[in-house]
Amino acid sequence: MNHPTARRVIALIAGLSFLSSLTVSLWGGVAPARAEMRPSLSFNGVPGVIDMPSGEAMKDGMVAITASTFGGQLRSTLTFQITPRISGSYRFSNTRNWNDALLPGDPLNDGYDSYSDRAFDLRFLVLEETAHLPALSIGLQDFVGTGKNSAEYIVATKNFGERLKVTAGLGWGRLSSYNDIGATGRRPPIDMGVSGGKPSAEQWFRGPFAPFAGVEWQINSNWSVKAEYSSDAYDEVAGARKVFDRASPFNFGLEYRYADSTRLGIYSLYGSEIGFNIQLTLDPKERASGGILGPAPMAVGLRPSRSADPEAWDQGWIAQTGAAETLRSNLSKYLAADGLIVEDFSYTATKVHLRVRNTQIDSGPQAIGRAARALSRVMPASVEVFEIVPVVRGMGASQVTLRRSDLEVLEHSPANDLALRQRVVISDAGPVSQGIGDKSYKRFKWGLAPALRISEPFHGDLGLRASASYEIRPGLVFSGAVFQRLAGNFDACEFCKPSLLPPVRSDGAAYNLGSDTSLDRLQLAWYGKAAPNLYARATVGYLERMHAGLSTELLWKPVDSRLALGVEVNYTKQRDTDGFGFGDYDYAVATGHVSAYYDLGGGYLGQLDVGRYLAGDTGATLSLDREFANGIKLGAYATLTSASAAEFGEGSFDKGIRLTVPINWLLGRPDRREFSATMRALQRDGGARLEVDGRLYDTVRDYHLGVMDRQWGRVWR
């Protein structure tokens, strides 16, 4: 028979004995510099104790991934400190044995083996910790969803000395389910409407509230112990469904910190369970290697003084036969080591105009700097002005004009990046001059790599992706990609439901199941500049896995403008699930958007797209991204369209987060490729945009002022 009090006492004694024995055996080591250490994260992936949140915030820009498990529940969370005070989390959780304890006729019994949920959190740091004040945060947990797991909290954390950290707070919603001590009004039931997925603002901080608390003790710089009192009763999971036994509100844990970035923990939870947690934190502002890797640049070429060697300054070299070819081939040799390719090259006696393609260096200013050094080694002494135009997909993205004398004088000067920036002019690239290009670049490129295609959480296919592209001329590229499935565990879409809208996205599973070999993309893409500051694109073919047709785009973006405006018009047909035809769906649609892009500064980018989506619905998408100087980018978006919540289906509207990580960040050597992922709560048919690659905004902005100025510190690198 259950003696709850006895069990709680035993759990408490066990926990304390555990702690004290550990303390005795692990004592030792230097007291850590607490201020330097990253806050530890809870099972919910936010700064916290064990299952409860704490009042601290991570350092601005930090990204954390946490995976935790206990009592049949698995949680994995991605948390991003969006600003110094605001952080957001995206959590995926899965609870096993969901219906095991229920009888077949029970109204709660929905027949699923396990229950998966996605949740979004938001936290706001109200007070930073000072000598006298604690750190204070308010948080919304699972605030966009069904609402039954939603919680809000106010929590404070204070450090005492170098080792002790104390947390105490009040929770509402789920965090008030155990031993509430009062109430702020009545918590209205969630208005799920037809389909949930909307912020449950009418509930926030209303209803009963309960206290929770925790302590963390730093044993030495690697080991710490934690204890907490939890106000989450797990009414459904432990109560109705008996997935685990919540015998006590006390949790205890032992954590090991390996390097700044990793923490591992083992815990005793709720008097009955053992749990584990792994926390990974990453600071995108810092480079893993401590700095930018890659070989040192060549020295700036020095010209002899006019008095010592006046002939070197003579301008007669222009008339020499073969001068152009010789200069171009010397230049190509110098630039090749950095992966820079001469697209066009012309000159007068005093000025050289170089249009260069950057295939390798992740930073525009560094590529400009390397190109300038190469010009200083190759061009005769009379050439004083360098005009360097970085070219992307055949379009000149901007023009950097600098004087050779400035290069020579500033090469080893203190703070020479700032000094050079004051002397260069960055403007729009002019029209293409008829010069000599480098015909030796590789027009045909191909790649073969293993790829993972995920269709459902923990279900997907492993295979090979073969891609190839042929550049007919700069700005005109024929390319394709094929995925060959080798193995996988996605055999049937168990949870696909019919859609009230044309199934432009919700049938994705059918495409993944349709055949082992799939032609992901086969297209011809054209890029060009229609006028100064006006870029154009047209892409035709099998543009993506589900749709094929024509996509056209125009972008107006001056080099020095925070605002850019674009318009995109597409006409596509939905592809068959297994081949080249269009008969399965017989669905053609004209879609398009007018877009406004705004660089808010500090790396924050906003975008508003208004138009018509694939299912024929009209509406708007608002996105906000944060980009770091090294290219890591995190963002979130939401789309509202004329597709009603009922038509959209579960989730009510499309929202998600997206992440881009440049490959050079991982490899530590120069590389321009990037890895991107979009994580959505659900993939339904409302608010669906055509996934055509190579859209103009991201293509040209690397060489415009917003990014160039932020990365200018690398020009002499």
Partner 1 sequence: MGPGMALRMIRGPIRLVGAALLGLTLLAGCGAIMSKLPGMGGATRVDLDHVSRAQLEAFGKPILRARIPALGIDSLLSPRDQNGGMTTWEAAEGYTFTFRGGVLVETRGLGPDLMSALVPSTAEIASGSATKRSYFYTWEEDANQRRDYACTSLGMGQERLEVYGRAHVTRHIVETCSRDGGQLSNEFWFEGNSLRQSRQWISPKAGSGVFLWVID
Which residues between 27 and 86 bind partner 1 (CB under 8 A)?
63, 65, 76, 78
Strand-pair category, 534-542 with 459-473: unpaired
Alpha-carbon span 366 to 400, nearest angstrom: 12
CB neighbours (10 Å) of residue 603?
A: 19
Kindly state the smallest distance separating residue 5's Cβ from partner 1, in Å.
34
Comparing CB distances to partner 1, the nearer of 149 and 427 is 149
Q: Is 288 in the site for partner 1 (CB under 8 A)?
A: yes
Q: Which residues contact 163 (CB under 8 A, 6 or more apart)?
A: 31, 34, 217, 218, 219
Binding residue for partner 1, selected from 138, 156, 381, 661, defined by CB under 8 A: 661
Q: 60 with 81: CB under 8 angstroms?
A: yes
Q: Would you call 637 helix, strand, or coil by DSSP?
A: strand
Choices 40-48, 209-217, 299-307, 472-480; region in contact with partner 1 by CB under 8 A:
299-307
- Which residues does residue 655 pair with via DSSP β-bridges, in sequence order? 638
Kindly state the smallest distance separating residue 654's Cβ from partner 1, in Å.
12
Q: Is 674 in the site for partner 1 (CB under 8 A)?
A: no
DSSP string, 196-249: --SB-GGGTT-EEEEEEEEEEEE-SSSEEEEEEE-----IIIIIIS-SS----S
Tell me how far apart the 2 most distant CA atoms of the chain are, in Å. Answer: 105
| Residue in 86, 98, 88, 99 with CA at minimum distance from that of residue 44 | 88
Q: Is 679 in the site for partner 1 (CB under 8 A)?
A: yes
Binding residue for partner 1, selected from 161, 185, 290, 498, defined by CB under 8 A: 290
706: burial class by Cβ within 10 Å (0-12, 13-18, 19+)?
buried
Comparing CB distances to partner 1, the nearer of 226 and 521 is 521
Q: Is 713 in the site for partner 1 (CB under 8 A)?
A: yes
What residues between 305 and 334 interact with partner 1 by CB under 8 A? none
Kindly state the smallest distance separating residue 143's Cβ from partner 1, in Å.
13
- Radius of gyration of the chain measured on its C-alpha atoms: 30
What residues between 203 and 262 interact with partner 1 by CB under 8 A? 258-262
Alpha-carbon span 372 to 278, nearest angstrom: 47
Binding residue for partner 1, selected from 133, 164, 454, 464, defined by CB under 8 A: 454
341: burial class by Cβ within 10 Å (0-12, 13-18, 19+)?
buried
Binding residue for partner 1, selected from 292, 372, 392, 705, defined by CB under 8 A: 292
Comparing CB distances to partner 1, the nearer of 167 and 699 is 699
Choices 342-350, 381-389, 559-567, 661-669; region in contact with partner 1 by CB under 8 A:
661-669
Please tell me the number of Cα atoms within 13 Å of 424 on its side-chain side: 30
Q: Is 110 in the site for partner 1 (CB under 8 A)?
A: yes
Q: Is 533 in the site for partner 1 (CB under 8 A)?
A: no
Kindly state the smallest distance separating residue 340's Cβ from partner 1, in Å.
17
Comparing CB distances to partner 1, the nearer of 209 and 653 is 653
What residues between 481 and 510 interact with partner 1 by CB under 8 A? 483, 493-496, 505-506, 508-509
Q: Is 600 in the site for partner 1 (CB under 8 A)?
A: no
Comparing CB distances to partner 1, the nearer of 157 and 506 is 506
Q: What are the residue ranges of helices labelled H in 27-93?
A: none
Kindly state the smallest distance separating residue 38's Cβ from partner 1, in Å.
11
Q: 567 with 538: CB under 8 angstroms?
A: no
Q: 269 with 70: CB under 8 angstroms?
A: yes
Instruction: State both tokens at 672.
Output: 């321009």
What residues between 383 and 402 interact with partner 1 by CB under 8 A? none
What residues between 537 and 576 interact with partner 1 by CB under 8 A? 545
Instruction: State both tokens at 346.
Output: 């012309």
What residues between 601 and 630 interact with partner 1 by CB under 8 A? 603, 628-630
Q: Is 112 in the site for partner 1 (CB under 8 A)?
A: yes
Comparing CB distances to partner 1, the nearer of 32 and 475 is 32
Alpha-carbon span 313 to 384, nearest angstrom: 10
Kindly state the smallest distance separating residue 463's Cβ from partner 1, in Å.
10
Comparing CB distances to partner 1, the nearer of 16 and 302 is 302
Burial 230-249 (b: 16+ CB within 10 A, else e): bbbbbebbbeebebbebbbb
Please tell me the number of Cα atoms within 13 Å of 137 on its side-chain side: 30
Comparing CB distances to partner 1, the nearer of 247 and 451 is 451
| Per-residue binding letters, 117-136, with partner 1 (x by CB under 8 A) | xx------------------
Q: Would you call 498 helix, strand, or coil by DSSP?
A: coil
Alpha-carbon span 483 to 471, nearest angstrom: 22
Comparing CB distances to partner 1, the nearer of 421 and 562 is 421
Comparing CB distances to partner 1, the nearer of 14 and 278 is 278
Alpha-carbon span 397 to 413, nearest angstrom: 29
Q: Is 680 in the site for partner 1 (CB under 8 A)?
A: yes
Kindly state the smallest distance separating residue 390's Cβ from partner 1, in Å.
17
Kindly state the smallest distance separating residue 97's Cβ from partner 1, in Å.
14
Strand-pair category, 399-403 with 385-392: antiparallel
Q: Is 21 in the site for partner 1 (CB under 8 A)?
A: no
Kindly state the smallest distance separating residue 382's Cβ from partner 1, in Å.
20
What residues between 332 and 361 interact with partner 1 by CB under 8 A? none
Kindly state the smallest distance separating residue 453's Cβ from partner 1, in Å.
5
Comparing CB distances to partner 1, the nearer of 65 and 466 is 65
Q: Is 375 in the site for partner 1 (CB under 8 A)?
A: no
At 681, the amino acid letter reads A
What residues between 413 and 452 interact with partner 1 by CB under 8 A? 413-418, 452
Comparing CB distances to partner 1, the nearer of 414 and 431 is 414
User: How far apart are the two ends of the chain, measured CA to CA in Å?
Assistant: 72
Comparing CB distances to partner 1, the nearer of 213 and 409 is 409
Comparing CB distances to partner 1, the nearer of 535 and 542 is 542
Choices 34-42, 207-215, 568-576, 673-681; region in contact with partner 1 by CB under 8 A:
673-681
Q: Is 687 in the site for partner 1 (CB under 8 A)?
A: no
Comparing CB distances to partner 1, the nearer of 202 and 314 is 202
Alpha-carbon span 467 to 481, nearest angstrom: 4
Burial 14-53 (b: 16+ CB within 10 A, else e): ebeebbeebeeeeeeeeebeeeeebbbbbbbbbbbbbbbb
Alpha-carbon span 366 to 707, nearest angstrom: 12
Helix (H) or strand (E) holding 378: helix 364-378
Q: 71 with 94: CB under 8 angstroms?
A: no
